[in-house]
């Protein structure tokens, strides 16, 4: 990684691995400022926060996609009687809501 990449990265053009590598570079870069007793430039913390947010967002998106996929697989394994019982429960809920109005 380079300083120019760290300063000007575009998260849209990077995958999670690249973002994590860039974050590691930024943390080492910041640590060097601290070890030398030099003030850390403001952009360093800003970029590190942006990287952390982007990585966390992408990981959360992937986990949500995995969750949807797993739920769909589980639903496809249900028996007819299980699906019928779920639909009956949904119907009862809707009918109860209609009765209140």
Q: DSSP states of 57-80 as a string?
A: HHHHHHHHHHHHHHHHHHHHT--H
3-state class (DSSP) for residue 85: helix
Supply the pTM of this predicted model: 0.74
The residues spanned by each domain of the chain are: 3-100
Model confidence over 31-57: pLDDT tens digits? 999 999 999 999 999 999 999 999 999
Alpha carbon of 42 to those of 10, 39, 49, 54: distances in Å? 18, 9, 11, 19
Q: Where are the alpha helices (DSSP H) in 1-101?
A: 3-8, 16-36, 42-76, 80-100
pLDDT band, residue 88 (cuts 50/70/90): very high
Model confidence over 65-77: pLDDT tens digits? 999 999 999 999 9
The whole-chain average pLDDT of the chain stands at: 96
Percent of the chain with pLDDT over 90: 97
Evaluate if residue 101 carries a pLDDT over 70. no
Closest CA to 55 of 24, 30, 84, 99: 24
């Amino acid at each position: 990684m380079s300083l120019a990449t760290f300063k000007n990265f575009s998260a849209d053009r990077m995958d999670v691995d690249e973002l994590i590598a860039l974050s590691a570079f930024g943390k080492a870069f910041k640590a060097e400022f601290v070890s030398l007793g030099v003030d850390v430039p403001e952009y360093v913390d800003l970029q590190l926060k942006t990287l952390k947010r982007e990585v966390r967002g992408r990981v959360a998106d992937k986990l949500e996609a995995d969750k949807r996929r797993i739920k769909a697989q589980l639903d496809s394994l249900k028996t007819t009687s299980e699906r019928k019982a779920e639909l009956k429960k949904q119907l009862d809920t809707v009918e109860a809501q209609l009765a209140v109005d």
